[in-house]
Structure 1
Amino acid sequence: MRRDPPHVKECAIQRLITAAILLPLVILFTLKATAFQFSLLIFLIALAGLDEFYRMTLPTRRGEGRIAAVAGACAVFTVFSGNPIVPLMTFTALVLGFALIALFRLKEIPQAAADSALVLMGFLYVPFLLSHLIMIRMLPHGIPWLFLIMVIVMTGDSAAYYVGSAFGKTKLYPAVSPKKSVEGSLGGLAGSVAGAFVAKAIFFPELTPFDCVATALVLGVLGQLGDLFESLIKRSCGVKDSGVIFPGHGGILDRLDSILFAGPAAFYYAYFLLR
């Protein structure tokens, strides 16, 4: 029987302790917080996530990265305006403002295109995608939808890990994530479907069986793709984790990579089909 090295066991224990502390706090806060208080949490998450993104992708531009992180995180509050022009105007201002910063940095023209693209990519990847969680919170049944996303992603991750560990033979995308397997991915989707039906039975009876299967498959696939995309960014930047804020779990982006892709799909499904 294979035995895990001591550092692997220690990391697993750290992950369990961190999850045991954070998960109940997130659940309690989501249940009790108002929509605006919830948006404050998303603002802090976006701020930390953007800072991690710029630390990885633009390590030599820490000053500009911090300014961009604060500016981009503040954009999540625009969803409260009730006017779609306000978020559009805000992101337009971000694009133009940081394009002008790059324009007048004359001594570093060779890097201008790549650096500018990464700054603007950060705005879209973190605060823009995360702002969909605030919009979900403001929908009818918004809180159950937030919990449904969590359940689908978490059960999918757990099932993918255990199925992949036990039966994984066919590599899914070895160039980006060598440990992931096709068997684990399919097991993860099955786990997501099971999680959606559990959610229907416990706290979201308004879902139909079709909704359970459809949301689980769409969010499950997108969640796995979000995980792979963040792995691609980390591999491109030569880092193992996006940060160290959570012992055993890495950084904010390491924990939210799946939700960043799954959250917007959940919002549009709820907005157009279940209002």
Structure 2
Amino acid sequence: MGQRIVTGVVAGAAFLTLLWLGGWYYYGILALLALIGYHEFVRLNKLPAGRADVLCGFAATLVLALPKLPFDWTTPDMSAVAWLLMFVLLTATVFSKNRITLDQSALLFLGAFYIGLGFRYMAATRDLPHGMFWPLLVFFCIWASDAGAYFVGKAIGRTKLWPAISPNKTVEGALGGLVIALLVSLIFAVAWPDWIGYGTAIGVALAAAVAGQLGDLIQSAYKRLRGVKDSGSLLPGHGGVLDRTDSWLIVFPLVHLLGLLTV
């Protein structure tokens, strides 16, 4: 637990500093996390990281994770990236005479969009008006939900939420996480009433708590399928990038798609 707390504090402080600096400081750390996350995804699927189709997946993940490219390059449309990656991966099955299987190509495609788009929306949130307000709101709601679910579950958790996927999660913990996320979001609404209304604050909290816990369960289900405890070992006591960002990857796109981040 001690190592987990130290790692969390140090990594969290570094991440929040880059978020505060914004611009390419923030884009850069998100791009790096996206590439590390994709590497973990590739390793979980036991694919060779240096194979041509896998390298194309890395390139697509990087392009998708960045809201714009450096040096005034034209950033490709997401639908163009999707089509090009699909074309390359399907072509790889042909030229490899099916040594690269369709299942492998599908997994690489899924991983690039799951990870790349998740980080892209994190970057886009920082670029909204009011600077750090919106990303801090979403991050704090996610973290509040995680902490609330953990501590409430430890204290009073009795009813298993989804034991086949994540045996330690409880219904009481999930509800506790939801309540704590609501409290945090409403504090933002009280402190900055000109920027966010109570309805929006409740919507963000619900998305962060419900979709965030689903994102956690998605990663738990995948790791259970692959027979591993953690996606990686980058963060002592916390696992890999995907272990720490599984909620982020689902919540940030969702709050944008739901139109909750009003400006």
TM-score, structure 2 normalization: 0.90
User: C-alpha offsets along residues 93-119 of structure 1, whole Å, 9 cap, x if unaligned?
Assistant: 11211221122222637xx12211111
Q: Are residues 107 and 113 of structure 1, via their aligned partners in 2, closer, same or farther at CA, if it must alter by over 3 Å?
A: closer
Query: CA separation in 2, counterparts of 1:66 and 1:158?
Result: 35
CA distance in 2 between counterparts of 1:78 and 1:170 reads 41
Q: Structure 2 matches for 1:178-193, cutoff 5 A? A: 178-193=167-182
- Structure 2 vs 1, CA of residues 43 and 273 (structure 1 numbering), >3 Å: closer, same or farther? closer
Give 1:94-243 correspondences, 5 Å limit: 94-106=85-97, 108=99, 112-201=101-190, 206-243=195-232
Q: CA deviation at 1:273?
A: 6.2
- 2:79 aligns with 88
Q: Does 1:71 align with 2:62?
A: no
Alignment match, 1:17: 6
Q: Distance in 2 between matches of 1:260 and 1:267?
A: 12
Distance 1:233 1:262, change over 3 A: same
| Equivalent residue number for residue 61 of structure 1 | 48
In the superposition, relative to structure 1, how do residues 77 and 239 fare at CA in structure 2: closer, same or farther (>3 Å)? Answer: closer
Distance 1:171 1:135, change over 3 A: same
Code of the residue aligned with 1:73 in structure 2: it is: T
Are 1:50 and 2:38 counterparts? yes
| Residue pair 2:152, 2:172 contacting (<8 A) in 1 also | yes
RMSD: 2.3
Give the 3 Å change call, closer, same or farther, for CA 242–107 of structure 1 in structure 2.
same
**Do the aligned residues in 2 keep the contact of 1:222 with 1:261 (CA within 8 Å)?**
yes
**What's the TM-score once normalised by structure 1's chain length?**
0.86
User: Any stretches of 5+ residues in structure 1 without a counterpart?
Assistant: 1-11
Q: Match of 1:8?
A: none
Q: Which amino acid aligns with 1:185?
A: A
Greater CA deviation, 159-168 or 84-93?
84-93
CA contact (8 A) 2:20 2:132 kept: yes
Counterpart CA distance in 1 for 2:241 and 2:232 is: 7
Amino acid at match of 1:197: L
* Count of aligned pairs: 259
Matched residues in 2 for 1:263 and 1:54: separation?
Answer: 23
